[in-house]
Amino acid sequence: MSDAYIALADGRVLEARARAPGRTRGELVFTTAYTGYEESLTDPSYAEQILTFSYPLIGNYGVRSERFESDSVQPRAAVARELTDDVADWLAGEGVPAVDHVDTREIVTTVREEGAMACGIAAGPDATPEDAVEEMESCKPMSDHVDIGAQVSVAEPTVHEGGGDVDVAMLDCGAKGSIVSSLTDRGADVHVLPYDATPEDVAAVDPDVLFVSNGPGDPENFVAAQEVVDEFAGELPLAGICLGQQVITSALGGSTEKMAFGHRGVNQPVKDLRTDKVVMTTQNHGYTVDDTGPLEVTQVNVNDDTVEGLDSDELDVITRQYHPEANPGPHDSLGFFDEVLDLATSDRRIAAD
Ligand SMILES: NC(=O)CC[C@H](N)C(=O)O
């Protein structure tokens, strides 16, 4: 007898084992990462999604808060072939449903063939297949979560001191902690501002660089952040990671589109078109830039040629679709943060001073 059910938008209901009880719904996605479950489960970009791990055993090195990327569990539920007690207890304590003993290969194959889809989960002694279907039917498309930034951003501006001379204003659209610390570790003072900060809020910080963070959902819903970028383009150097790349591109006249199932994992190969060098990268995104506007493509995904890096000498812009902070993940692209801080100090800077 099963005590957990996963309802998929294609009509199927899969049986599973409840590891943390509850009922929920979200967009069903998968990550192929084989380490870094604590970082992924606390990554705010997973808000409103149900995260399936394709790696079969999740939790084998415990749960330590030092590795968290935010202070709560962000996906609405977790699905794995086998979850250890450590992870299951953590998720249960956080009130986030979790299920295992399910054929995750079938889920991954389904999502690869049919795309990221609505999903409902019911887990616990009283759960029924009907409960899971009811949850799935009330699941909204990601683009309908128009104010998703409010769920993941800081409520008030916060400063993280790095002790150096560079001030970074970061629009927090759901920033991972290690993006902030990658900048403070290099000496920057990072002024983290709410996702809906105004141009006046940014001006009050008098930054050397405007940085747009990663974040969940559809980048076109981050209207305030796009307005801020539009306001400062050409006056301040701009940098961004993942949703940040998407927001900056849209604000400058380009556009984004939803991918079928996205990129989530820690071994996505990215080629730099200027050096022909390929690095392994960590990724978590379901949207991509399809029109780069005034920006030049500097890096592409080797698997599917999607845009991974954008640059503009004229506007002083540098962005990445992947996650150079590498938590989890290979450290191949940590140098991105040095390039960001160089924007503030090098001759490339176009600021009026
Ligand atoms: N990690 C991110 O910033 C994700 C960006 C965006 N929500 C996407 O899915 O494409």
pLDDT > 70 in the chain, percent = 98
Q: What sign for the dihedral angle of Cα 134, 137, 141, 144?
A: negative
Active site residue 325: yes
Write the residue with the smallest CA distance to atom 3 of ligand 1.
214
Q: Indicate which atom in ligand 1 lies nearest the CA of residue 43.
A: 1
- Whether 303 has a binding-site annotation, put simply, is no
Residue nearest to atom 8 of ligand 1 (CA): 285
Annotated active-site residue 323? The verdict is yes
Residue 353 Cα, ligand 1 centroid: separation in angstroms?
Answer: 34
CATH 3.40.50.880 boundaries in the chain: 149-345
pLDDT at 347: 54
Which atom, in ligand 1's list, is nearest to the CA of 283?
1
Give the C-alpha separation, 43 to 185, whole Å.
20
Residues with CB under 6 A from ligand 1: 45, 214-217, 219, 242-243, 284-287
Summarize the confidence of residues 75-79 as an average pLDDT.
Answer: 99
Instruction: Give pLDDT, residue 345.
Output: 81
202 three-state secondary structure:
helix
275 C-alpha to ligand 1 centroid (Å): 26
CATH number for the domain formed by residue range(s) 149-345: 3.40.50.880
Confidence of residue 163 (pLDDT cuts 50, 70, 90): very high
pTM (predicted TM-score):
0.97
Is 93 marked as binding a ligand?
no
Q: Is 187 known as a binding-site position?
A: no
Q: Where are the beta strands (DSSP E) in the chain?
A: 4-8, 13-20, 22-31, 49-53, 57-58, 77-79, 82-83, 98-100, 117-123, 158-160, 167-172, 189-194, 209-212, 238-241, 255-272, 278-291, 296-301, 307-312, 317-320
Express each pLDDT in 12-49 by its tens digit.
Answer: 999 999 999 999 999 999 999 999 999 999 999 999 99
C-alpha 218 – ligand 1 centre gap (Å): 7
232 CA → ligand 1 middle, Å: 23
> Residue 117 pLDDT more than 70?
yes
In the chain, ranges of CATH 3.50.30.20 domains: 4-140
Q: Two tokens at 313?
A: 């000498």
CATH classification of 4-140, choosing from 3.40.50.2000, 3.50.30.20, 3.40.50.720, 3.40.30.10? 3.50.30.20
The amino acid sitting at 78 is: A
